[in-house]
C-alpha cells in the first residue's frame, strides 16, 4: 500500500484575495496532490473553527500561518507512513489529535486541507477519477446546478437583503444542457440589466450585484430573463433562494423584506406569500440557526398546504451529524447544504450525507463565498449522488471551474449517465 512520506502546507489566497491554506501530500510511490480550503462570509456559530492569526497585523489578522505550521509540524509527524487508502483512519487521527469539539486547537482549515489532499492523492495513486474513488455506488448521477445569478446580503455591496437569488434548470436532461440553459438565462439577464442602466458587475459568487428596490424586483428580473430566454418559469427553470437569515436576525426578529424587523409569524407569512406568488422551489436558511421552532412551523405549514418546496438547512445544520439528527427529529427541513469546511474532514462529511439520504433529505453540495480553483466539491457531488450542487454563477473562474469539472465527468461517464432526481 502506498504510504505518506511528506505533508506540506503553505499559505495561498482565495477568490476574495484573503489568505487560505493549501496542503500537498506526497506518497512513497511518487504520486502527489494538493487541496485548497475555502472560507465563508456568512458563517454559522456551530461551524468547525477556522484558525486565523488574529494578532498578526502583517496580514490584518487574516493570515493562516499558524494553521500552516500545524500541518507542517504536528499533523505531518502524526500521519507520516500512513496507508493512503485508509481515509477513515487518517481523518480519525486528525480529529483525535485536535481533541476539541469544533477543531479549535489545530483549526478545521488545517485538518480539512490534509483530509482532502489525502483523498485526492489516493485517487491519483489508484489512477482513477476522484469521484470514483469517493463513491460507494456503481451508478453515479450528475447534480442539478443551483446558480446564484443575483448576489445580495453579505456577498455584495448592494441593497438586496436576501443573499442569493438562484436558478435551477429543472428541464435539463443532462448536465451540459443544464449549464446551457443557465448560460442563456444569465445572458438575457445581463441584457435586461444593461437596458435598465443597472450595474452588471458581479458579487463574490459571480452573480450580478445591482442595487435594486427589494427582493421582489430581483425575482421579477430573473423571471423576465427566463421568459425572454424561451423557457417556462417554474417548469423549465425555477427560482431558489438563500436568505442566510442569521445575518438578518436580531432579538428574535427578522428583517428579510426590508429593514424593519418582524416577528417569526410575520416572517413565515412573508415567505408563504412569496412562494405563492412566484415559482420558488427552494428556500435555504429562512430562519436563524437557533430558531428551531420557526423552522418546524414553516415546514409544517408547507406540508399542510401541499407545497412542494425544498427547505434547506445550512447554518442550521453546519454539515454536522448531531444537528442534522435534531433537525430530522423536529421536522425542521427536508434538505441539507453540505460544506466540508463546516465540519472539517471528508469522512464526517460523507457520514452526514449518508444520514441525510437515509432520512430522505436532499443533499446540496456547496462552495463557500471565498473559494478557489480547487474543484473537489464537483467530484464529491457525483460520488455521493447528491441531487444538487451550489457553486455560484457562470462567471469567475473559481465558480466556473466546478461546472467545467462536472462537464468533464459527464463526458467520462458517457451518454447513459442520468441527472439526479430532484
Ligand atoms: C451560503 C454560502 C455559500 P458563505 O451561505 O450558503 O453560498 O455563503 O460561504 O459566505 O457562508
Ligand atoms: Mg447559505
- Which CATH number does the domain housing residue 166 bear? 3.20.20.120
Our CA dihedral for 193, 194, 197, 203, rounded to 10 degrees, sits at 60
Q: Is residue 138 part of a domain?
A: no
Do residues 72 and 183 both lie within one domain? no
Do residues 111 and 157 both lie within one domain? no
Q: How far is the CA of 245 from the centre of ligand 2 (A)?
A: 9
pTM score, two decimals?
0.98
Is the minimum distance from the CB of 15 to ligand 1 under 6 angstroms?
A: no
Distance CA 163, CA 150 (A): 8
User: Would you call 410 a catalytic residue per the annotation?
Assistant: no
Do residues 291 and 329 both lie within one domain? yes
Backbone angles phi, psi at 148, to 5 degrees: -85, 95
415 pLDDT band, cuts 50/70/90, is confident
- From 321, 173, 59, 371, select the one nearest 313 (Cα to Cα): 321
Is the minimum distance from the CB of 203 to ligand 1 under 6 angstroms?
A: no
Do residues 22 and 60 both lie within one domain? yes
Residue 259: predicted pLDDT? 87
Place of cell 445591482: 210
The domain boundary residue, chosen from 127, 154, 188 = 127
Place of cell 511528506: 6
- Using most ligand atoms within 8 A of CB, pick from 15, 152, 339, 365 the residue to mutate for ligand 1: 339
- From 370, 368, 366, select the one nearest 16 (Cα to Cα): 370
**For the chain, how far is it from start to end, CA to CA, in angstroms?**
39
Is the minimum distance from the CB of 41 to ligand 1 under 6 angstroms?
A: yes
Q: Is the pLDDT of residue 156 over 90?
A: no
Is the minimum distance from the CB of 388 to ligand 1 under 6 angstroms?
A: no
Distance CA 81, CA 76 (A): 10
Q: Is residue 218 part of a domain?
A: yes
Q: Is residue 336 part of a domain?
A: yes
416 pLDDT band, cuts 50/70/90, is confident
Q: Whose CA is nearest to atom 2 of ligand 1?
A: 368
Percent of the chain scoring above 90 in pLDDT: 96
Q: How far is the CA of 378 from the centre of ligand 1 (A)?
A: 16
Do residues 381 and 347 both lie within one domain? yes
Is the minimum distance from the CB of 314 to ligand 1 under 6 angstroms?
A: yes
Residue 77: predicted pLDDT? 98
Q: How far is the CA of 390 from the centre of ligand 1 (A)?
A: 10
Is the minimum distance from the CB of 47 to ligand 1 under 6 angstroms?
A: no
Residue 195: predicted pLDDT? 97
Do residues 75 and 156 both lie within one domain? no
User: Would you call 339 a catalytic residue per the annotation?
Assistant: yes
Residue 159: predicted pLDDT? 83
Is the minimum distance from the CB of 369 to ligand 1 under 6 angstroms?
A: yes
- pLDDT tens per residue, range 313-336: 999 999 999 999 999 999 999 999
Q: Which one of the listed residues 22, 24, 164, 205 is annotated catalytic? A: 205
Q: How far is the CA of 368 from the centre of ligand 1 (A)?
A: 5
Do residues 352 and 257 both lie within one domain? yes
SS3 label, residue 117: helix
Residue 30: predicted pLDDT? 98
Q: Is the pLDDT of residue 33 over 90?
A: yes
Residue 161: predicted pLDDT? 94
Q: Is the pLDDT of residue 157 over 90?
A: no
Q: How far is the CA of 78 from the centre of ligand 1 (A)?
A: 32
Q: Is residue 422 part of a domain?
A: no
Distance CA 248, CA 241 (A): 14
Q: Is residue 135 part of a domain?
A: no
Average pLDDT over residues 296-323: 97
The domain boundary residue, chosen from 127, 158, 193 = 127
- How many structural domains does the chain have? 2
- Using most ligand atoms within 8 A of CB, pick from 37, 39, 145, 366 the residue to mutate for ligand 1: 366
Residue 5: predicted pLDDT? 98
Do residues 208 and 300 both lie within one domain? yes
Q: Is the pLDDT of residue 210 over 90?
A: yes
Average pLDDT over residues 166-195: 98
Average pLDDT over residues 213-217: 94
Q: State the chain's mean pLDDT as an integer.
A: 97
Do residues 79 and 208 both lie within one domain? no
Is the minimum distance from the CB of 204 to ligand 1 under 6 angstroms?
A: no
Q: Is the pLDDT of residue 201 over 90?
A: yes
Q: Is the pLDDT of residue 9 over 90?
A: yes
- Using most ligand atoms within 8 A of CB, pick from 42, 206, 343 the residue to mutate for ligand 1: 42
Do residues 342 and 394 both lie within one domain? yes
Q: Is residue 55 part of a domain?
A: yes
Helix (H) or strand (E) holding 268: helix 264-277
Cell of 29: 510511490
Do residues 104 and 228 both lie within one domain? no
Q: Are 7 and 93 in contact (CB under 8 A)?
A: no
258 pLDDT band, cuts 50/70/90, is confident
From residue 299, alpha-carbon distances to 229, 309, 330 in Å are: 33, 9, 10
Is the minimum distance from the CB of 43 to ligand 1 under 6 angstroms?
A: yes
Residue 269: predicted pLDDT? 97
Do residues 253 and 402 both lie within one domain? yes
Average pLDDT over residues 373-397: 98
CATH of the domain at 76: 3.30.390.10
Q: Is residue 393 part of a domain?
A: yes
Is the minimum distance from the CB of 289 to ligand 1 under 6 angstroms?
A: no
Name the residue range of residue 148's domain. 144-413
Q: Which one of the listed residues 103, 281, 339, 402 is annotated catalytic? A: 339
- pLDDT tens per residue, range 272-285: 999 999 999 999 99
Q: Whose CA is nearest to atom 3 of ligand 1?
A: 368
- Count H helices, E strands: the chain? 14, 15
Q: How far is the CA of 246 from the centre of ligand 1 (A)?
A: 11
Residue 294: predicted pLDDT? 98
Average pLDDT over residues 232-249: 97
The domain boundary residue, chosen from 127, 154, 169 = 127
138 pLDDT band, cuts 50/70/90, is confident
Residue 43 CA, closest ligand 1 atom number? 11
- Which ligand is in closest contact with the Cα of 38? 1
Q: Is residue 22 part of a domain?
A: yes
Amino acid at each position: 500500500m502506498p504510504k505518506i512520506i511528506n505533508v506540506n502546507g503553505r499559505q495561498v489566497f482565495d477568490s476574495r484575495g484573503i489568505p487560505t491554506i493549501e496542503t500537498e501530500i506526497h506518497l512513497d510511490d511518487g504520486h502527489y496532490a494538493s487541496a485548497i480550503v475555502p472560507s465563508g462570509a456568512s458563517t454559522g456559530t456551530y461551524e468547525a473553527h477556522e484558525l486565523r492569526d488574529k494578532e498578526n497585523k502583517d496580514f490584518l489578522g487574516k493570515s493562516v500561518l499558524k494553521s500552516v505550521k500545524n500541518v507542517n509540524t504536528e499533523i505531518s509527524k502524526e500521519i507520516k507512513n500512513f496507508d493512503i487508502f485508509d481515509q477513515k483512519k487518517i481523518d480519525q487521527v486528525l480529529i483525535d489529535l485536535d481533541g476539541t469539539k469544533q477543531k479549535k486547537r489545530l483549526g478545521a482549515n488545517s485538518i480539512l486541507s490534509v483530509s482532502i489532499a489525502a483523498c485526492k492523492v489516493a485517487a491519483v495513486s489508484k489512477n482513477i477519477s476522484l469521484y470514483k474513488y469517493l463513491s460507494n455506488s456503481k451508478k453515479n448521477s450528475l447534480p442539478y446546478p443551483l446558480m446564484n445569478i443575483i448576489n445580495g446580503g453579505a456577498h455584495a455591496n448592494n441593497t438586496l437583503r436576501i443573499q442569493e437569488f438562484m436558478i435551477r434548470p429543472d428541464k435539463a436532461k443532462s448536465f451540459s444542457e443544464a449549464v446551457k440553459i443557465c448560460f442563456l438565462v444569465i445572458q438575457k439577464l445581463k441584457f435586461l440589466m444593461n437596458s435598465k442602466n443597472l450595474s452588471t458587475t458581479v458579487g463574490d459568487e459571480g452573480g450580478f450585484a445591482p442595487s435594486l428596490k427589494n427582493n421582489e424586483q430581483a425575482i421579477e428580473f430573473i423571471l423576465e430573463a427566463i421568459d425572454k430566454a424561451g423557457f417556462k418559469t417554474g417548469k423549465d427553470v425555477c427560482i431558489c433562494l438563500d436568505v442566510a437569515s442569521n445575518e438578518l436576525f436580531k432579538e428574535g426578529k427578522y428583517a428579510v423584506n426590508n429593514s424593519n424587523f418582524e416577528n417569526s409569524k410575520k416572517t413565515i407569512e412573508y415567505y408563504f406569500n412569496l412562494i405563492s406568488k412566484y415559482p420558488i422551489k427552494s428556500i435555504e436558511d429562512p430562519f436563524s440557526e437557533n430558531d428551531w421552532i420557526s423552522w418546524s412551523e414553516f415546514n409544517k405549514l408547507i406540508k399542510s398546504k401541499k407545497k412542494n418546496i425544498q427547505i434547506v438547512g445550512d447554518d442550521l445544520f453546519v454539515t454536522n451529524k448531531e444537528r442534522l439528527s435534531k433537525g430530522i427529529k423536529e421536522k425542521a427541513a427536508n434538505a441539507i447544504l453540505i460544506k466540508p469546511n463546516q465540519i472539517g474532514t471528508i469522512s464526517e462529511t460523507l457520514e452526514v450525507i449518508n444520514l441525510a439520504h437515509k432520512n430522505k433529505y436532499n443533499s446540496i453540495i456547496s462552495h463557500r463565498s471565498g473559494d478557489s480553483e480547487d474543484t473537489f466539491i464537483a467530484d464529491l457531488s457525483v460520488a455521493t449522488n447528491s441531487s444538487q450542487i451550489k457553486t455560484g454563477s457562470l462567471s469567475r473562474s473559481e465558480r466556473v471551474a466546478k461546472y467545467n469539472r462536472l462537464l468533464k465527468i459527464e463526458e467520462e461517464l458517457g451518454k447513459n449517465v442520468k441527472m439526479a432526481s430532484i
